[in-house]
Amino acid sequence: MTAKVDVIVVGAGFGGLYALHRLRQDGYSVKVLEAAESIGGTWYWNRYPGARCDVESMQYSYSFSNEIQQEWKWSELYAAQPEILAYINFVADRLDLKRDVQLNTRVVSARFDETSSTWEVRTEAGEVLVAPYCIMATGCLSIPMVPDFPGLKDFKGPVYRTSDWPHEGVDMTGKRVGLIGTGSSGIQATPILAAQASHLYVFQRTPNYSIPALNRPMTREYERSWKDEYPERRLAARKTRNNTLNMAGSKPGRDVSRDEREAEFERRWTQIGGISFMYAYPDMTSDPEVNAHASEFVRRKIGALVHDPDVAEKLMPSDYGIGGKRICVDTAYFETFNRSNVTLVDIRSDPIERLTATGVKTKSQSFELDVIVMATGFDAMTGALKRIDITGRAGVKLADRWAEGPKTYIGMAVAGFPNMFLITGPQSPSVFTNMVTSVEQHVDWIADCIAHLKTNRRKAIEATAEAEARWVAHSNDLASKTMMPNANSWYVGANIPGKPRIFMPYLGGAAVYQDYIADVARKNYEGFSLA
């Protein structure tokens, strides 16, 4: 049987749920299809010990309803995964969203029918849904990447992934644990695994820059200060580069003395904490001298925190500047390497050869393990979209259009794929921002666009190839003016063998981007053709 609705939304994370709410408010019938057995997206899947946000919870939360943001109480500055998931469920229940979310439903294909101007969406179970509009809220970091290590299947113990950690939790007490991967997830999990395991081996290929979170319980005063001024602060946050108020400095780092910079880095490291470190100066990732100074500052901090100089040296990133890879935020990560039950294994100099029945064999050593934890990242930004067989006009496949890397217009639309919208797609600021605010901005823009089509009796909207090409060139140009494309990060797809190397996020800043997309709409959807 074919079900018909006005809008199909794929994914029930922050993005899909807000899309459902906003479009339902606007009077449309909406169906959300979600592969998981419950809502929450990132915060449903990533239940590893230590998982928490690194944008302050007063900000990493929906802003669309002042009532809701006044009602909810966060217990810590940076909430842990269970609390964020509880919050998402609270919002969904409060707005009665769950009745339009179909769980345990993986979308396998989506095809645009040119005659009827509708999308035909198929699920793994063979159901078919048809709607004029399809919104892909499939997430930037929703497809786990596990390297194909030789012998992966030989290992006799359990292998867990941070990205879909067992719901019942895992007791590591007395276990010899091997953790592979030292990105944000691995860095968050390390101190907690170390406290449980009899021995923790951390297999590190590339060291990361990580800043102390300085997480703390939410104080009444801090909460009050936000709740008293929520609307104003949310508005102010939208005028920043990353949709977040994080005390961003406006004076370029190159215009101040080295001593002044040093003092500012120290203040951010010891008193503010977290991602705000990266916002000390606007030229942190574009001016080589400022970037080198900030990178060296963090290396010195690592040197001071880690007692064994050889271990400290291995933990210091040296072949890329700070910000080249997504900055990490931690609680006692580097200090954990002072524990006698923690060993850092440098797999850059001594690569993993294979997994064996009893552990990990590197080129020169063998490690006996009871459990392996993979914190090896995601097929970011394009992974979820490319796994759906998406066919646009004239039978063109998205996977083919993107064979040399993703191409979008303003991160939300693809030429040849009318009436399909992406939430936080490639070439939008997305992963450089507070993503909850960014998904709200995308959803609001899309809802306004659909309203415009309805008012003007148009059936279809499609990005033009010219506008798309211009936007991609602009996005690439912005990235090339920074040092960011140089690092082998997931921003450029370097973590996925064979993935075309293109810097995927838009670096113009969230505020500039917001003005730009508002202008597109104001100019009667400039860069789109309407039919």
* Rounded distance between C-alpha atoms, residue 307 and residue 73, angstroms: 39
Q: Based on the number of CB atoms within 10 Å of its own CB, is 332 exposed (0-12), middle (13-18) or buried (19 or more)?
A: middle
Cβ–Cβ < 8 Å for 15, 142:
no
Binding status of residue 189 toward ligand NAP by CB under 6 A: no
Count the Cβ atoms, other than its own, within 10 Å of residue 195: 16
Of 102, 206, 356, 476, which one interacts with ligand NAP (CB under 6 A)?
A: 206
Query: Nearest Cα to 526, choosing from 470, 479, 457?
Result: 470
Burial of 214 (C-beta count, 10 Å sphere; 0-12/13-18/19+) = middle
Residues 418-477 touching ligand NAP, rule: CB under 6 A, are 431
Cα torsion angle, 116, 391, 451, 9, sign: positive
Q: Are 43 and 117 in contact (CB under 8 A)?
A: no
CA distances (Å), origin 228, targets 70, 171, 234, 300, 477: 9, 42, 12, 40, 41
- Residue list 159-188, contact with ligand FAD (CB under 6 A): 185
Shorter beta-carbon distance to ligand FAD: residue 142 or 291: 142
Instruction: Evaluate whether 105 touches 125 at the Cβ level (below 8 Å).
Output: yes
Radius of gyration from C-alpha coordinates of the chain: 23
Comparing CB distances to ligand NAP, the nearer of 60 and 119 is 60
Q: Does 462 bind ligand FAD (CB under 6 A)?
A: no
- Are 454 and 461 a contacting pair, CB within 8 Å? no
- Least gap, CB of 522 to ligand FAD (angstroms): 26
14 binds, among ligand NAP, ligand FAD, none (CB under 5 to 8 A by kind): ligand FAD
Residues 310 and 329 sit within 8 Å (Cβ to Cβ): no
Taking CB under 6 A as the rule, which mask of x and - marks residues 37-76 in contact with ligand NAP? ----------------xx----------------------
The Cα 440–Cα 14 span in angstroms is 9
Near ligand FAD by CB under 6 A, which window of 133-141, 338-346, 359-367, 444-452? 133-141
48 forms beta bridges with none
206 binds, among ligand FAD, ligand NAP, none (CB under 5 to 8 A by kind): ligand NAP
Q: How far apart are CA 45 and CA 160, in angstroms?
A: 12
Site string for ligand NAP, 342-381 (x = CB under 6 A): -----x---------------------------xxxx---
Task: Select the residue interacting with ligand FAD from 20, 42, 426, 487 (CB under 6 A).
Answer: 42
Residue 408 binds to ligand NAP (criterion: CB under 6 A): no
Least distance in Å: CB of 418 to ligand NAP?
31
- Tokens linked to 221: 């005063």
Tell me the two tokens of residue 28.
């449309």
Residues 6 or more apart whose CB falls under 8 angstroms from that of 54 comprise: 78, 184, 213, 274, 275, 328, 329
Least Cβ distance, residue 194 to ligand FAD (angstroms): 19
End-to-end alpha carbon distance in the chain: 29
The binder of ligand FAD chosen from 345, 435, 446, 507 (CB under 6 A): 435
- Please pick, from the candidates 7, 8, 9, 13, the single residue that binds ligand FAD as defined by CB under 6 A: 13
Judged by CB under 6 A, which stretch of 13-21, 257-265, 279-287, 333-341 contacts ligand FAD?
A: 13-21
Sites for ligand FAD among residues 396-425 (CB under 6 A): 423-424
Q: How many Å apart are CA 425 and CA 256, to the nearest integer?
A: 36
- Smallest distance, ligand FAD to C-beta of residue 226, A: 17
Q: Could you tell me which stretch among 185-193, 239-247, 299-307, 457-465 binds ligand NAP (CB under 6 A)? A: 185-193
Sketch the per residue contact string, 55 through 94, with ligand FAD: x for CB under 6 A, - otherwise.
Answer: x----x----------------------------------
77: contact with ligand NAP by CB under 6 A: no
Which residue ranges make up the site for ligand NAP (CB under 6 A)? 53-54, 141, 147, 180-186, 188, 205-206, 326, 329, 347, 375-378, 431, 490, 495
Which residue ranges make up the site for ligand FAD (CB under 6 A)? 10-16, 33-36, 41-42, 44, 46, 51, 53-55, 60, 106-107, 137-142, 185, 384, 388, 423-424, 434-435, 439
